[in-house]
Amino acid sequence: MAVGSVQYILWRQDDNGNVFVVCRFHSRDQANRVCERYRKRGHKQLYWVKPLAPQGPPS
């Protein structure tokens, strides 16, 4: 992945309040599709997608 490109992170919070990264994606659409698939499983966990801020070149 090129420096400065945006990644979308699929997050999960379990029923104990622990938060985890599930997966990283290059497109928001793909991340949202996978997020919906997890949500439809009907578990207590929460799932959401959030962009990862692009990082500039190293100093």
**pTM (predicted TM-score):** 0.76
Please write the tens of the pLDDT for every residue from 19-56. Answer: 999 999 999 999 999 999 999 988 789 999 999 866 55
Write down the pLDDT at residue 1: 47
* Mean local confidence (pLDDT), 8-24: 95
CA–CA gap between residue 7 and residue 50 (Å, rounded): 9
State the DSSP string of the chain.
--TT--EEEEEEE-TTS-EEEEEEES-HHHHHHHHHHHHTT--S-EEEEEEEPP-----
